[in-house]
Structure 1
Amino acid sequence: MGLEYGPAGLVSMASTIGMAIGSPLAGRFVDRHGLRPVLTVTTVAQAAFWASAWALPFPVLLVAAAVAGLLALPVFSVTRQCLAAMVRSSSGAAGSRSTRCWSRSRTWRGPRSRWRASRRSAAA
């Protein structure tokens, strides 16, 4: 592309601003729809961006970097679910670590939400 450090910094800035806006939104979508659909959309978006970034003119690249930042992969959500699945499976729960890590479709909400859910079902 033949760009200097200044334009490269602008592309990084656009991507970072996109991530700052998109990460909380991705968290809400993961909570609402589960990790699999969000991971599918973000993976497709990242693949499309990185496959075409080299051919884009600079103004389009700035916009595409911001959109790619908005649709960044929710890495920490995946890591959190994998760790939660490994802790649960090592404490005697059924299922292997690797299959439970990737087969969960909802985020782990912690012990308090499980306690509330068990209280609700006991009250019904």
Structure 2
Amino acid sequence: MMGNGFMDSGSFDAIFFIVFGIIAIGFIAIIAKAIGTGLSNQAAELEQRSCKVVDKRTRVRGGSGDFSASTNYYVTFEFDGGERKELEVKDRDFGMIVTGDRGELRYKGTRFLEFVRAMEA
């Protein structure tokens, strides 16, 4: 028997479960990636290297209407030999680091730990 609406109940249920499944798989993938990154950082060797701060940037997400915004802070460090590494830092660290600073960077995998500015004599 044909329904007299746009879709019958069975079609709506099928579409609902497909959309729900896609959303659930997306959330699972995001969680799995976060766990994988955390485990990788935990297993990484602690590194301490001399470097220079060459760039800083922010990434703002959200903030439209009644929604609050969140900001991520990134600093790019350049090591001897020209190799660069961009790490996400906390807001308080971002405010204390200045482009052009030289010092010692401590990090583990992709996790920023500390930047100690070298004092000029």
Q: TM-score, normalised by structure 2?
A: 0.29
In our comparison, the structure showing a higher alpha carbon Rg is 2
Considering fraction of residues, name the structure with more strand.
2
Considering fraction of residues, name the structure with more helix.
1
Q: TM-score, normalised by structure 1?
A: 0.28
* Larger relative contact order, structure 1 or 2 (CA cutoff 8 Å, min sep 6): 1
